[in-house]
Structure 1
Amino acid sequence: MDATEPYLYFWPKIQESLADAGIETGWFHSTYTLTPHGIYPVQFGEAVETLRYVLEDVGRSPGEVLIAGDSAGGSLCLAILSHLKHHSIDVSDLVMNESIKGAILLSPWVSFSHEWPSVKLNKHRDIDAQEVTAQWSRLYLNGQLSNNYIEAVNAPGDWWSNVPVEQTLVLAGADEVLLDPIKSWTSTFKKSNPDTTLVIGERECHVAPLIWPMFGDFHETEQEIALKHWLLERLS
């Protein structure tokens, strides 16, 4: 799906809260090709080129860059991290001399499987309908087999060892169908990357900070509060 109107308010609000604390930040939003107009690895390649642009054209060092994404965008962030450690033949190489400062993953889509308990438990609590996510993942794969760059939860523990990222924040909602795979991936990732924080917002759906405003609910979610605190703590 295209970014919705709340995106235009949510991230600038985060930027303003940092500015109020004396922390100046610059933000670059990447637009990647949506299915069915592009299939794997088109979006993967565009995500890698986004980071390359910030590093090479804008001239930022990896140590002052954070990558962030929600849902499929969170999955692409993980594809970038995987690619930085395990070069994929599907996209162009990207070499860095230091780790990026951090990754922020909002409800990352780490598994296409519908066999997780949370899929059934939260079926009527979340916004993600099984038939819709099944169609989107099928379009993305377009008959290809999945891999660790597509479904991060399937990567073994040693895959994430020495991934070049200093710190990671994972946000999820207790009522989302993706909760179990997110928790499973985070547990695996944290074994090799101890500076990893998982925050689960009670009674919150998939990407609640960006979804709820679409329905007129503008109260601050637990995930948004956690994101602000994490950024203030890590960037001060």
Structure 2
Amino acid sequence: MVRLAPKHKYPGPLNECTKAFDYLTKDLGVSPSKVIFSGDSAGGALCLETLIRTYSPGILGDNIDSPRENFSMPLPAGILLSSPLVSAETSSESWRLFEKKDIVSAALGKLIYKEYLGLPHVNIEDLPIMKLHHIRKNFDRFLPKHVMVFAGDKEVLRDDILDLAKAVKDDGKHNVLLFQEHYAHDWFMIHEIIKKKDKAMIDKYDEMFVDFAVVAVDEAKSSASSPASSIIKETLDNKLSGKIISVSEATPTPEISFKLDDTFDLFDKVEFPKPAQYSPNTILSEYTIITDTVSHTPLTT
């Protein structure tokens, strides 16, 4: 569990995210190609910075064009970003329209910066991750092949989120699934703001995410065939097509067959440090949804 502000300030939560990813991949020997990153709001920023620090840390320095440095392990299979914080800008049209109506406001932002950074006055641009909105190409240095993004039509961060999603899509190396609904910030995660008549919509999107995760991991499994000493090839088949999908469109469940005790061929080709009791045939080494509760629920189809 990530320790929270104001007692634990940045970069504390970020360090815990990077340590958790290291523990999963290095100590437990789980391939990143079996991992789906997920974060909402500031958690989306944590996910993105964790990936950048792991695969292309030079971006957070003085050079946003810094190349990927870590080829010793593959990228994660996919990432879900729900209303992610990706820019410090507050001058967009969505900020002008919804600043007094959205859950997020300029005043709340200042309070978060104070509690999160521990400073009475802070320029959020000083946060390394806020350089992200300046990146316009080569997202494959740190971003997984499959990207799922949720944004609200009535949230202040809308324009920045859509701008990032478009930049990633225009880069031409990712399957980007963008979902928008006429709601405020983080509607996909904060179900309390969803009207009763739209509750079925959330169930539909939850199903889409499960399908997305299964397809992304399955494709990563089939593509992870290069040895660790080589540049990881990412020529995944385009099962998800990358188009923008509306909730009214039919979304059939992908025809994927797997067993929980299957193991990926990657472990025969890429060496990850393994603890003495390492067992690749556990549920943890395959498909698992980890929540903030004490139980781990295996993903089934």
Which is worse superposed, 173-182 or 154-163? 154-163
Alignment match, 1:197:
177
User: 4+ residue runs of structure 1 moved beyond 6 angstroms?
Assistant: none
Structure 1 Cα separation of the partners of residues 175 and 168 of structure 2: 10
Question: Equivalent residue for 1:184?
Answer: 163
Rounded Cα–Cα distance in structure 1 between residues aligned with 2:78 and 2:101? 31
Q: Give the match for residue 144 of structure 2.
A: 165
Pairing partner for 1:87 from 45, 52, 57:
57
Partner of 2:16: 46
1:126 match: 102
Contact 1:116 1:180 in 2 (8 A): yes
The TM-score normalised by the length of structure 2 is 0.58
- 2:110 corresponds to 1:151: no
Change in 2 beyond 3 A, CA 1:145/1:207: closer
- Measured in 2, the distance between the counterparts of 1:41 and 1:88 equals 17
SS at match of 1:151: helix
- Check conservation: 2:113, 2:124, Cα contact below 8 A: no
Specify the structure having the higher radius of gyration (Cα).
2
Residues 76-106 of structure 1 show CA distances to partners (whole Å, capped at 9, x for unaligned) of 111122223322699xx98742121010011
Task: Report the residue type matching 2:211 in the other structure.
Answer: L
1:97-134 Cα offsets, whole Å, 9 max, x none, are: 21210100111011233212101212344212320122
Tell me, which stretches of 5 or more residues in structure 1 are unaligned? 1-30
1:5 matched to which residue of 2?
A: none
Say whether residues 1:114 and 2:90 are aligned partners.
Answer: yes
For the 8 Å contact 1:152–1:185, the answer to whether it is kept is no
Give the Cα–Cα distance (whole angstroms) in 2 for the partners of residues 70 and 110 of structure 1: 11
Structure having the larger proportion of residues in helix: 1
**Deviation at 1:179?**
0.4
Q: Distance in 2 between matches of 1:234 and 1:212?
A: 21
* Secondary structure, aligned partner of 2:26: helix
Aligned pair count? Answer: 203
Alpha-carbon distance in 2 for matches of 1:181, 1:221:
28
Residues 155 and 40 of structure 1: is their aligned pair in 2 closer, same or farther, counting only changes over 3 Å?
farther
Distance 2:58 2:116 in 1: 17
Q: Is the 8 A contact 2:187 2:193 kept in 1?
A: no
User: What SS is found at the alignment partner of 2:179?
Assistant: strand
1:64 pairs with one of 25, 34, 46: 34
CA distance in 1, matches of 2:8, 2:72: 27
| Letter of the structure 2 residue corresponding to residue 115 of structure 1 | S
Unaligned residue ranges in structure 2 (runs of 5+): 61-68, 215-255, 257-301
Q: CA deviation at 1:42?
A: 1.7
Structure 1 position 218, deviation (Å): 8.6
Percent identity over the alignment? 23
Partner SS state of residue 88, structure 2: coil
